Structure 1
Amino acid sequence: MQTHEIRRRFLDHFVKAGHTEVPSASLILDDPNLLFVNAGMVQFVPYFLGQQTPPFNTATSVQKCVRTLDIENVGITTRHNTFFQMAGNFSFGDYFKREAINFAWSLLTNPIDDGGYGFDPERLWVTVYLDDDEAQDIWHKEIGIPNERIQRRGMADNYWSMGIPGPCGPCSEIYYDRGPEYGKDGGPEADEDRYLEIWNLVFMQNERGEGVGKDNFEVLGPLPKKNIDTGMGVERVAFLLQGVDNVYETDLVRPVITKAEQLTGRRYAAGGPEGGADDIRFRVIADHARTAAMLIADGVNPGNEGRGYVLRRLLRRIVRSARLLGAEGATMSEFMAVVRDEMSPSYPELKTDYKRIENVAVGEETAFLRTLASGSKMFESEADEVKAAGKKVFGGSEAFVLHDTYGFPIDLTLEMAAEAGLSVDEDGFRSLMAEQRARAKADAQARKHGHTDLMVYKDLLDRGPTEFTGFAELNTEAKIIGLIKDGQKVPAASVGEQVEVILDRSPLYAEAGGQIADTGMITANGVRLKVDDVQKIAKKLWVHKVTVEEGLIAEGDEVLAQVDAQWRHGATQGHSGTHMVHAALRQVLGPNAVQAGSLNKPGYLRFDFNWQGGLSEQTRHEIEDVANAAVSADYQVNTFVTDLPKAKEMGAMALFGENYGDEVRVVEIGGPFSMELCGGTHVAHSSQIGPITLLGESSVGSGVRRVEAFVGLDSVRYLAKERALLQGLASTLKVPTEDVPGRVENLVERLKVAERELEQSRAAAVLASAGSLADAAHRIGDVLLVAEKAPAGVGAGDLRTLATDVRGRLAQQAAVVALFGDDDGKVPFVVATTDGAREHGIKAGELVKAVAPAIGGRGGGKPDMAQGSGTDASGIEAAIAALRAALAEGSA
């Protein structure tokens, strides 16, 4: 049975049983506890926690999930995957254990012709929590499973919680016996490779207290309502029903491995054991390609932190694995195309948005291939030093730097070291990795907090959404329905207090979609509240953060909410200007220049978009011209509400990674010129935006560029300043304004010529001192030593050249040259040795360690040349003395 069919049967089974089918949420949710959605129940958390009242009593979904905690184990075993699909059915105070168990059992065991999966009931085992007699009885007495195939397990295995205070409860897991060839008898307790878990039924009936781990917490008591949360692993069911050994052999994943075989000429040991290095690399490619495509589709771009770093790491592991398998050149486009073809029947966005997905992935591959080149140079330099020192082990700290700075996985470093005849201090490397993970874990724990913060808003959310009137008016009569201070409800607030005010109606825009919140006032008789910020809770409750400037306010008061009209006018200019720039980018660059983020406020906009490489000055001018032509055309701005499929059919642009409801608001400017899904405020006609002036363009990450612009009066003021600057230059240079660029270019060229001449003179003067320095050499034992403070004006860049020249003059003798500079508070130094000195066992890199402490510095290098820098010029004489002592000791 194909994986797409497995998904469809699951959803059909529960829809027929009265469940509401809920689409998968994006892999990115606005949840401080989660990097990515990692379980099927995540989008339903507010319902389970009682923070919001669910719009349905029962639901079913197939949720896309990503887990990356064990990323290093992906490929090493066949059990670890970063992307997976979790099918689930959920009850919010409706049915409980009996129904949940029967629903799962009937789907698993019903014949295929009747819509089931056709599993042999005799090969299914279940586990229940230690004291869950009710579940045991249902499985045995009603379903008919023999007691010997029902095992009781403790909290670590069969008791679920979110890891923080909140709902919890016992669970019952369903396992499939793969047969004696996969392990020993005895059920899940004996061998969880042979007995594979395919479904987990969570009976969410209790509340847990504080604690750490899966079983170190107190169960406080029963929840007001009993809930059901289940999860069936789609990929696990797929490989069982398809008669293969693991997910890598299934219909959606194996084609990626096949493509990797074609590109590398190597072969994957299909159906075999976990395999060797090549098999691991094939699995890494297959797993990570799928995950990367899904993450990019949901709006993640490669970066250096958070989600972006995870994506970057996945893509680089693909590149590295393909390289180690023997692939030459780029491969990412090929892998992404296979993922698109295999996964798009369930996730059509992979096809409709493929060009952007491909561009992001290929862009990161291109960048990493360059990184590999620079990292390889660092490796070669370090490896040369190790071998020159007569050692055989590449340092763990150096391996960690390669990993952390250049993205080198340890196995790539191991391979390169082996080629160089070296081993690697893996223990040292893994120790540093463990320290990094511990820091990351501590940071994540510090950020982690319970979901109970939103409980204070639950009653208000249950009353329905705030009515936003700001599209039609700037002043609205409203009623205070809630006051919150420091996370607690309060009945009233007085002068000087800062509180959150929740109104039943509001014209003030709450920050969203890149547009920052409105400012304004809330007033009544003798009452004046300054609105500092407006935010949304659960996307439907407007929370006004205010300072009470006059009077006393209380829940139930009638007030007048007012938007600062000047602020709103500027905000609409900025937001509509963003749409103009987006449309202009797509017109000039093509449809792959897709929004990756934005910020707009009065007079200013910032727009991030997916694109590889910088924009030329000519391209920027063209984008600016197209946007301003649309402004000048005085297009009418139309807004309307429709359903999401209709909006997409009309060609409306959506923000990647954003979760939209069934109904969406479309903002259309100039018909086909610009049409986007947007909940922001806008001008009525494009001419009201005023001139748009692009300020510049820059990179904000791999494959993501940023443009910034002024609009309206801010644009006029900016251009006036630029004009004044140009006129000032023209006056100073005594040329017409149109001749200023040529005149400045001429002056710059003349300055460059003068600087080159000065540099040549200075270099000649520096080298002229080489002879006198060489003549000043004095003998220490069998070695000549030149140890001097360099002439004034010799910086770090010249010091090495001078030392090399002095050494050349003493090349026929055993000599050491040590020169120290004093460059604006820094003390650069260089130590060089001749062949004769090295024959006496004298190495520059070791001498550096002897002199560096005296000047508060450090350094290193090779036996023939080493250098470093210090911070204490007063220690130069002491450093020279230390050098003499080191040479004298060596001669003795």
Structure 2
Amino acid sequence: MRTAEIRRRFLDYFAARGHQVVPSAPLLYNDPTLLFVNAGMVPFKPYFTGAETPPYDRATSVQKCVRTLDIEEVGKTTRHGTFFQMNGNFSFGDYFKAEAIRFAWELVTGSQDDGFLGFDPNRVWVTVLHSDDEAARLWENIAGLPPERIQRRGLLDNYWNMGIPGPGGPCSEIYYDRGPEYGREGGPVVDEDRYLEIWNLVFMQEELSTVRAKDDFDVLADLPRKNIDTGMGLERVATLLQGVDNLYEIDEVVGVLRKAAELSGRTYGAEGGHDDDVRMRVVADHVRSGLMLIADGVTPGNEARGYVLRRLLRRVVRSMRLLGVTDPVLPELLPVSRDVMKASYPEVERDWDRIAGIAYAEEEAFRRTLVSGTQIFDVAVADTRKGGGSTLSGDRAFQLHDTYGFPIDLTLEMASEQGLSVDADGFRRLMAEQKARAKADAKSKKAGAQAVEVYRELRATGVTPFTGYSELASDTSIRGIVLDGDLVASAAEGDVVEVVLERTPFYAESGGQDSDAGTITGDGFELEVVDVQRPVKGLVVHRVRVARGELQSGTDVLAQVDGEWRLGACQAHSGTHVMHAALRQVLGPTALQSGSYNKPGYLRLDFAWQGGLSQATRSDVEEAANRAIRADLDVSATYMPLATAREIGALALFGETYDEEVRVVEMGGPWSRELCGGTHVQHSSQVGLVTITTESSVGSGVRRVEAFVGIEAFRYLAAERSLVHGLTETLKVQPDQLVDRVGRLVAQLKDAERQIAELRSRQVLAEAGSIVARAHEMWGVDYIGHAAPGVAGNDLRSLALEVRNRVQDRAAVVAVVGGSADKPSVVVVTTEGARHRRLSAGDLVRVASETLGGRGGGKPDIAQGGGSDGSKSQEALTAVEHAIGHVLQS
């Protein structure tokens, strides 16, 4: 049974039993505690915690997930994969244990001819929490399982919680016996390779007050509404139903594995080919993960999500290289994954041009990194040998890996070719420390999530209606005051607190739009609004400074948005939509927005694109935007079902999640049609003017344009006009002659600088004769030390070489110190006769550079360095002289 069919059967089964089918949330979910969605229940977490009221009593989904903590284990075991799909059914205070067990048993063991999955019921085992007699009894009564196939386990294995105070409860896991060829008898408590877990049923029934560890927590009380959260590993079920050994060999993955084998000329599963098999499995897993991450809007980068994607794609290239393939591989592998995944996720085909462009550009960048990394590796090898060692240090290997993106496997391979080993233990220790820091950061973020408890309490009393689409001032009242995470009854003048209103005209920062500014006034007090946020869905929180008087909770107030600020915000946000549409008009439909920020007078928009925009293209985009503004396009906002919005082509921002009812903002009908909750002008002409100020790269395959909007755009252009006017007055030319005139001046200046440099060089070299005359003989070697203040760069090097040319017939060392007082430079050269006396320019320049407060190095015949203290020039020359004497006398 194909994976897509298993997925369909699961959703159909629960839909037929009253469950709302919920589409998968994007992998980039709006949760500060998560890098990516890593479990099927993540989109439903606000319902389980009570932060939001669920719109349905029961739901089902197949959720895309990514986990990367065990990335190094991918391919080595049959259980580790980075991207996976989690089938789930959920109950929010509706059915509980008995129904969850009945549903699971029927779907798992029911006949395939009847639409079920058709597992042999005699090979099904389950585990329950050691104290959960009820679950054990239900499995016996509902499924008819004998007691020996119902195993009890402790809290570590069979209790679920989020790691923070909140809901928790016992689990019951379903396992399938793969047979004696896969391991020992005795059930999952003995061997979890033979007995493969396929489904976990979580019975949320308790409220936890303190969570110290997965198996160490305090139970506050029973939940008033008991919930069900289940997770069935789609890939694991496919492994069993397709009769293959592991998840890398199922239909959605194996195609890439076979293509990797074909490109490399290796045979998967060949005797003695364990390492090759691991590499092919890594490729198969990571190609699919990279495809799905890019499809959901992730772009390669050096931090957080972007770094994970970059690492996955680079591990593909590295693994193929270790398989002997040095040509570009993603153009061969990625389309294979697209073709099998598009049945379940049509967006991978719809957005293919963008996805492929990002992935292929990243591979090309890594291929360049491999070249530069090899050079850095060669330096590390040389330093190791120079120190008399035979082991590349762990910190050098980690530096290559972490700073330069050079994979450790390649470092090990290349070191072996050079006859060196690598301190792998030291490397692993540094990697472990980095992982520990990452886990600590994640834990701190998770701990920070506890601070929203007060917001959940306020949200439980109702949402905060936003009235700002139709008014700038609202009569309202203060629902709550928050200070340092606690509810307080009042706030005094000068305090900075957070205020929740019963209704508000203030726009909370979201969708790239900055929050509104304004005031909240009441009887005897005035609050200055400095920020507005939505810490939990449906609740608007105003950060305010008490400018006058004393604030009391429950007081009636007037909330007033600054009209000028809102006008500027509307212009900037509408201008962002105009800029996005103009980019797509000029560049094509793949130039999709991947992020934005706007505030009064300014907008910033990130979009998918390879390579910088020429000045002509920038001008075309700017003109397209301003023509749309001049056209006075009608701007409208309409609410409609999400499915309808997608059907009419409304664009959604990557990483955002949307309700089933969405707001679609249109400008000129289909010219610009986007899902958006922000505030906008009523006609495009009200934007006024857009002028692009910069265009730059913010990551592989992502460009950024910044622009001024409205009056700020006019001021920007007025300042440029003033600058042009000043230049034309100074140069006595017309504006249209300015570029030519400045060009001629620059050419003349460069010519003059070249002539000056030539004169200075001749003057410097003219001193060579007098410098040679001051040579000092030491044990048969002439030492010529000379201070040349103000001489630097090539001139200093040329002077040293010219002096050496005049003493080539004898053993001689020339040291010249120049540069400036705060940035001295030194060059040391030696003749062949001096080198026969064991005098090396590289060794001597290090002595001089250290005296100058810096470093230096080079070859035995010529070397250079520098420092930070030019007052020690003579000391540096004397130090070289002493070093020469030490070598000659030893």
Which residue does 1:266 correspond to in 2?
A: 265
Match for 1:20: what amino acid? Q
Displacement of 1:120 in angstroms is 1.6
Q: Compared with structure 1, are the counterparts of its residues 197 and 274 closer, same or farther at alpha carbon in structure 2 (3 Å cutoff)?
A: farther
Can you list the C-alpha shifts for 1:290-344, whole angstroms capped at 9, x where unaligned? 1112111222111121111111111222222233333344332333322221112
**Gapped runs of 5+ residues in structure 2?**
none
Displacement of 1:690 in angstroms is 1.0
Do the aligned residues in 2 keep the contact of 1:482 with 1:555 (CA within 8 Å)? Answer: yes
Which residue does 2:681 correspond to in 1?
A: 683
SS at match of 1:468: coil
Q: Compared with structure 1, are the counterparts of its residues 831 and 155 closer, same or farther at alpha carbon in structure 2 (3 Å cutoff)?
A: farther
Do the aligned residues in 1 keep the contact of 2:30 with 2:657 (CA within 8 Å)? Answer: no
Which residue does 1:502 correspond to in 2?
A: 500
- Separation in structure 2 between the aligned mates of residue 559 and residue 70 of structure 1, nearest angstrom: 53
SS at match of 1:128: strand
Can you list the C-alpha shifts for 1:661-690, whole angstroms capped at 9, x where unaligned? 112211211223222221111111111111
SS at match of 2:657: coil
Q: Compared with structure 1, are the counterparts of its residues 727 and 199 closer, same or farther at alpha carbon in structure 2 (3 Å cutoff)?
A: same
Can you list the C-alpha shifts for 1:409-444, whole angstroms capped at 9, x where unaligned? 011222333344443333343343334334333444
Match for 2:822: what amino acid? G
Can you list the C-alpha shifts for 1:35-90, whole angstroms capped at 9, x where unaligned? 11111111222222222232233222211111111222223334321111111222
SS at match of 2:201: strand
- Separation in structure 2 between the aligned mates of residue 864 and residue 69 of structure 1, nearest angstrom: 51
SS at match of 1:252: helix
Alignment of 1:37-186 (within 5 A): 37-186=37-186
- Separation in structure 1 between the aligned mates of residue 146 and residue 239 of structure 2, nearest angstrom: 26
Which residue does 2:854 correspond to in 1?
A: 857
Can you list the C-alpha shifts for 1:587-636, whole angstroms capped at 9, x where unaligned? 11111111011111112111111111111111111111111111111112
- Separation in structure 1 between the aligned mates of residue 165 and residue 242 of structure 2, nearest angstrom: 40
- What is the aligned-residue RMSD (CA, Å)? 2.8
SS at match of 2:477: strand
Q: Compared with structure 1, are the counterparts of its residues 693 and 138 closer, same or farther at alpha carbon in structure 2 (3 Å cutoff)?
A: same
Alignment of 1:3-42 (within 5 A): 3-42=3-42
Residue 623 of structure 2 is aligned with which of 608, 622, 625?
Answer: 625
Do the aligned residues in 1 keep the contact of 2:821 with 2:870 (CA within 8 Å)? Answer: no
Q: For structure 1, which segment, 666-675 or 453-462, has the greater mean C-alpha deviation from structure 2 after superposition? A: 453-462
- Separation in structure 2 between the aligned mates of residue 368 and residue 884 of structure 1, nearest angstrom: 47
Displacement of 1:568 in angstroms is 1.2
Can you list the C-alpha shifts for 1:97-130, whole angstroms capped at 9, x where unaligned? 3332232222211121222211122222222223
Q: Compared with structure 1, are the counterparts of its residues 768 and 10 closer, same or farther at alpha carbon in structure 2 (3 Å cutoff)?
A: farther
Q: For structure 1, which segment, 563-572 or 43-52, has the greater mean C-alpha deviation from structure 2 after superposition? A: 43-52
- Separation in structure 2 between the aligned mates of residue 533 and residue 609 of structure 1, nearest angstrom: 27
Q: Compared with structure 1, are the counterparts of its residues 238 and 848 closer, same or farther at alpha carbon in structure 2 (3 Å cutoff)?
A: farther
Do the aligned residues in 1 keep the contact of 2:519 with 2:560 (CA within 8 Å)? Answer: yes
- Separation in structure 2 between the aligned mates of residue 541 and residue 505 of structure 1, nearest angstrom: 10
- Separation in structure 1 between the aligned mates of residue 434 and residue 763 of structure 2, nearest angstrom: 49
Q: Compared with structure 1, are the counterparts of its residues 886 and 197 closer, same or farther at alpha carbon in structure 2 (3 Å cutoff)?
A: farther
Q: Compared with structure 1, are the counterparts of its residues 394 and 678 closer, same or farther at alpha carbon in structure 2 (3 Å cutoff)?
A: same
Which residue does 2:415 correspond to in 1?
A: 417
SS at match of 1:99: helix
Residue 314 of structure 1 is aligned with which of 312, 315, 324?
Answer: 312
SS at match of 1:505: coil
Match for 2:193: what amino acid? D
Can you list the C-alpha shifts for 1:349-396, whole angstroms capped at 9, x where unaligned? 212222211121122222222222222233334445555776544443
Q: For structure 1, which segment, 15-24 or 36-45, has the greater mean C-alpha deviation from structure 2 after superposition? A: 15-24
Which residue does 1:426 correspond to in 2?
A: 424
Can you list the C-alpha shifts for 1:118-155, whole angstroms capped at 9, x where unaligned? 11222222222233333333334543323333333223
- Separation in structure 1 between the aligned mates of residue 592 and residue 753 of structure 2, nearest angstrom: 44
SS at match of 1:541: coil
Do the aligned residues in 1 keep the contact of 2:159 with 2:168 (CA within 8 Å)? Answer: yes
Can you list the C-alpha shifts for 1:564-590, whole angstroms capped at 9, x where unaligned? 111111111111111111111111111
Q: For structure 1, which segment, 42-51 or 436-445, has the greater mean C-alpha deviation from structure 2 after superposition? A: 436-445
Do the aligned residues in 2 keep the contact of 1:699 with 1:705 (CA within 8 Å)? Answer: yes
Displacement of 1:826 in angstroms is 2.6
- Separation in structure 2 between the aligned mates of residue 441 and residue 478 of structure 1, nearest angstrom: 43
Residue 465 of structure 1 is aligned with which of 456, 463, 471?
Answer: 463
Q: Does 1:243 align with 2:240?
A: no
Do the aligned residues in 2 keep the contact of 1:36 with 1:65 (CA within 8 Å)? Answer: yes
Q: Compared with structure 1, are the counterparts of its residues 847 and 577 closer, same or farther at alpha carbon in structure 2 (3 Å cutoff)?
A: same
Match for 1:672: what amino acid? P
Which residue does 2:230 correspond to in 1?
A: 230
Q: Compared with structure 1, are the counterparts of its residues 792 and 847 closer, same or farther at alpha carbon in structure 2 (3 Å cutoff)?
A: closer
- Separation in structure 2 between the aligned mates of residue 769 and residue 437 of structure 1, nearest angstrom: 59
Displacement of 1:250 in angstroms is 0.5
Can you list the C-alpha shifts for 1:740-789, whole angstroms capped at 9, x where unaligned? 11111111111111222233333444444555555555455575544x35
- Separation in structure 2 between the aligned mates of residue 668 and residue 467 of structure 1, nearest angstrom: 23
Which residue does 1:754 correspond to in 2?
A: 752
- Separation in structure 2 between the aligned mates of residue 783 and residue 432 of structure 1, nearest angstrom: 49
- Separation in structure 2 between the aligned mates of residue 246 and residue 334 of structure 1, nearest angstrom: 23
Q: For structure 1, which segment, 373-382 or 407-416, has the greater mean C-alpha deviation from structure 2 after superposition? A: 373-382
Residue 721 of structure 2 is aligned with which of 720, 723, 727?
Answer: 723
Which residue does 2:790 correspond to in 1?
A: 793
Alignment of 1:225-624 (within 5 A): 225-262=225-262, 264-270=263-269, 275-384=273-382, 386=384, 392-624=390-622
Q: Compared with structure 1, are the counterparts of its residues 385 and 758 closer, same or farther at alpha carbon in structure 2 (3 Å cutoff)?
A: farther
Q: Compared with structure 1, are the counterparts of its residues 165 and 875 closer, same or farther at alpha carbon in structure 2 (3 Å cutoff)?
A: farther
- Separation in structure 2 between the aligned mates of residue 445 and residue 864 of structure 1, nearest angstrom: 56
Do the aligned residues in 2 keep the contact of 1:78 with 1:274 (CA within 8 Å)? Answer: no
Q: Compared with structure 1, are the counterparts of its residues 136 and 435 closer, same or farther at alpha carbon in structure 2 (3 Å cutoff)?
A: same
Displacement of 1:854 in angstroms is 3.5
SS at match of 1:507: coil
Do the aligned residues in 2 keep the contact of 1:528 with 1:549 (CA within 8 Å)? Answer: yes
Q: For structure 1, which segment, 358-367 or 93-102, has the greater mean C-alpha deviation from structure 2 after superposition? A: 93-102
TM-score, structure 2 as length reference: 0.93
Which residue does 2:823 correspond to in 1?
A: 826
Displacement of 1:693 in angstroms is 1.3
Q: Compared with structure 1, are the counterparts of its residues 177 and 832 closer, same or farther at alpha carbon in structure 2 (3 Å cutoff)?
A: farther
Q: Compared with structure 1, are the counterparts of its residues 584 and 395 closer, same or farther at alpha carbon in structure 2 (3 Å cutoff)?
A: same
TM-score, structure 1 as length reference: 0.93
Do the aligned residues in 2 keep the contact of 1:25 with 1:64 (CA within 8 Å)? Answer: yes
- Separation in structure 2 between the aligned mates of residue 75 and residue 375 of structure 1, nearest angstrom: 25
SS at match of 2:568: helix
- Separation in structure 2 between the aligned mates of residue 467 and residue 32 of structure 1, nearest angstrom: 24
- Separation in structure 2 between the aligned mates of residue 676 and residue 789 of structure 1, nearest angstrom: 71
- Separation in structure 2 between the aligned mates of residue 829 and residue 432 of structure 1, nearest angstrom: 37
Do the aligned residues in 2 keep the contact of 1:574 with 1:600 (CA within 8 Å)? Answer: yes
Displacement of 1:175 in angstroms is 1.9
- Separation in structure 2 between the aligned mates of residue 710 and residue 858 of structure 1, nearest angstrom: 46
- Separation in structure 2 between the aligned mates of residue 379 and residue 813 of structure 1, nearest angstrom: 38
**Gapped runs of 5+ residues in structure 1?**
none
SS at match of 2:193: coil
Q: Between Structure 1 and Structure 2, how many residues are aligned?
A: 889
Match for 2:452: what amino acid? L
Do the aligned residues in 2 keep the contact of 1:257 with 1:268 (CA within 8 Å)? Answer: no
